[in-house]
Structure 1
């Protein structure tokens, strides 16, 4: 799901947010290319601290003013911040994490998204509109304060020739007793090699490793959204209602949020044990089956099995949260060498949010024209195609150094 997928429980607020969604999308379409250039010049921690300010400002605008115009302005600010954070945070995590735990830490990005969504669902179910805005502002303030104490990444410090500072940052991240010499030597070698290959974007993308990394990242982001996750989650309350569930829309949303957060937490624990490919293959294959069965139930209007749609939706959300939810964000931070990272990450995030907009806006027209069952079958087919994409093209990056990953990409190997 997109980071900005928070929900207002009031009908008027929800409608305004739907109208503002396109405006919000435009903000990070315009801002991500600039963000891609910024990250190549600035440290990711510095950029993240700066992006927290427009995010906080968006909630202040909502608290201070009312009406559609204020909401449009707030969503523009939030869209810029969310788009930038989505491009920078996975890169920052990948650069500070040791290869042995990079999968677990990288999956925390999606975990925090699901926890944030669940937090918003719970507060929104019990609080009025402005109280919800205030509750959403509080975590942003905590982030602003906490991130001032986060170190710059050792890789970035080495690119600036600040080796002593890079060693200090590494010791802060690994512990004062850590023997940093081998890791700092490896990072220095990667930085030196990157500086020798310094070139234009066009030259960078002539590299087989960079081209394949970009293809894989864009493909995973496309599969994540073309699986229909936002359409399924957005219409979960309708599915529950048609299945005969007595849950209110807010209660259904909370149930979905709990399931997504719990499954994403499980994914973070499994990421460095099972590997990325296994979770992606499990996720796409089971999602395809769940959506196909859900479409069949709707098409045949089956009686006496009202529980079946609920099971399909829950299974779909669980396996999405295990694989297709966190892994594309994690691998976006793993696949690119330093000179390709800025533009490639920006392109990946742009693709993701563009498809969020497309899927959300086309679900109802497609359902009206083709029938809801057919739409779910289309999503099922896209999930199956995603499983094929993963099986033949996506490499296993578990436990690999950045240099080893680049060598795999250059040679086309998947393991």
Structure 2
């Protein structure tokens, strides 16, 4: 039954298109996790032509986040001008050039520059791709398609750690340059979003796009419905940046995203991802740091595949609640480990399995909930006429939070000990959990129009005398 659903012809084309788009997100996972295998080697002098202080190393780790901010900002202005498809495609040659440049990098500042540029690509992709996938997909599989971005990013992280433990920067960079080539050669054949085409009065093109996406020639009813939806949104709210803040339903959507994003980021996944190898080395676990990293990421990847399907089966909200709860507990346990290993000499002989176990459980639940759900909500919460601007702002907020969290983790760890870092972010998870329970709605199996009507009704019910 499950396999027949997955292979249903109407959905199969959408899965293939989604897979092509998500190939691009491999570059994000590669870039974000690049420091895990290579930063310790640079800091310990393995690469004699590269030298870096600990402070420079922390900035090297967050450089993709710094680059993602302008990348998202620029994408805001092109996604509604040149379309979702072209906006995604242009990221491929930039990523390709960056990987080739990284292969021949002979100084730290060139590495900073390359990581900044690929970070800008990431910012652009996370602005446009959730929008594209959300607009082309049926409600029944929209969660699967958009959540696959997170799975792809995790696959990229696993790939670079495997390559990084066995190959030089030169070799791994050239191997990774294959990713944007494959993305470009496959994505060039996908159709444009029918929402975008209708917005730009390309009705015949929109109809042809729907025929491909739905694997059917009978798309007139859906086309007419999309035309009415776009017309209503354009009539009610002219597409201006200020609408994101002045229209109550948009403000509610933005509030929901801020809560999800802050909860996700303050679960400390980014610094754990940046410093995975260093954390396991400091934890003095029962197996080597390199092996721990591979086990850690392999289980995360398997969890992501499972989570992609759970999102459309159990819903987004329950997974968010369970995920945040388990993250709070496991981060606290990891903090206790770093206290006990220095305080009680006999502790390690009995509990040297704890850091890998607790962080692996953390990784599983973070992935199936917080990691994947945010991407799905991004493609669902905002109306078509301001979605490009909203997702750009959302990505910039995400970058700011990631940078703050990464620096807090590093500062607390360097000055007070890693246990302070883990305890602090465990407390942040608890705060985020309460906010998710209070404010975040369920969107499972709802069309994009039904979600907008829910947000409008929710704000109107609180303000019966206000029609906005």
Per the alignment, in what secondary structure is the counterpart of residue 34 of structure 2? coil
Q: Is there any run of 5+ residues in structure 2 with no aligned partner, and where?
A: 1-24, 460-468
Identify if the C-alpha distance between structure 1 residues 379 and 283 changes in structure 2 by more than 3 Å, giving closer, same or farther. same
Whether contact under 8 Å (1:24, 1:79) holds in the other structure is yes
Match of 2:32 in 1: 5
TM-score normalized with structure 1 length = 0.92
1:190 aligned onto 2:236: no
Q: Is there any run of 5+ residues in structure 1 with no aligned partner, and where?
A: none
Q: Deviations over 1:6-25 (max 9, x none)?
A: 32534127957654455544
Cα distance, 1:299 vs structure 2? 3.1
Per the alignment, in what secondary structure is the counterpart of residue 32 of structure 2? coil
Match of 1:357 in 2: 403
Identify if the C-alpha distance between structure 1 residues 145 and 406 changes in structure 2 by more than 3 Å, giving closer, same or farther. same
Q: Which of 411, 435, 441 does residue 389 from structure 1 map onto?
A: 435
Looking at structure 2, the residues matched to 240 and 22 of structure 1 have their Cα atoms a distance apart, in angstroms, of: 20
Match of 2:463 in 1: none
Cα distance, 1:199 vs structure 2? 4.3
Q: Deviations over 1:317-345 (max 9, x none)?
A: 00001110111111111100022212211
Whether contact under 8 Å (1:237, 1:248) holds in the other structure is no
Identify if the C-alpha distance between structure 1 residues 296 and 68 changes in structure 2 by more than 3 Å, giving closer, same or farther. closer
Cα distance, 1:368 vs structure 2? 4.0
Match of 1:209 in 2: 249
Identify if the C-alpha distance between structure 1 residues 63 and 54 changes in structure 2 by more than 3 Å, giving closer, same or farther. same
TM-score normalized with structure 2 length = 0.82
Identify if the C-alpha distance between structure 1 residues 7 and 28 changes in structure 2 by more than 3 Å, giving closer, same or farther. closer
Looking at structure 2, the residues matched to 109 and 346 of structure 1 have their Cα atoms a distance apart, in angstroms, of: 16
Whether contact under 8 Å (1:243, 1:307) holds in the other structure is no
Per the alignment, in what secondary structure is the counterpart of residue 247 of structure 1? coil
Looking at structure 2, the residues matched to 293 and 250 of structure 1 have their Cα atoms a distance apart, in angstroms, of: 22
Looking at structure 2, the residues matched to 380 and 266 of structure 1 have their Cα atoms a distance apart, in angstroms, of: 25
Match of 1:317 in 2: 363
Looking at structure 1, the residues matched to 185 and 381 of structure 2 have their Cα atoms a distance apart, in angstroms, of: 30
Number of residue pairs matched by the alignment: 412
Looking at structure 1, the residues matched to 340 and 117 of structure 2 have their Cα atoms a distance apart, in angstroms, of: 45
Cα distance, 1:229 vs structure 2? 1.1
Q: Deviations over 1:302-331 (max 9, x none)?
A: 622222222211110000011101111111
Query: 1:199-278 maps to which residues of 2 (within 5 A)?
Result: 199-278=239-318
Query: 1:290-369 maps to which residues of 2 (within 5 A)?
Result: 290-301=330-341, 303=347, 304-369=350-415
Whether contact under 8 Å (2:230, 2:385) holds in the other structure is no
Cα distance, 1:222 vs structure 2? 1.6
Q: Deviations over 1:191-224 (max 9, x none)?
A: 1012212143224421111111111112212211
Match of 1:408 in 2: 454
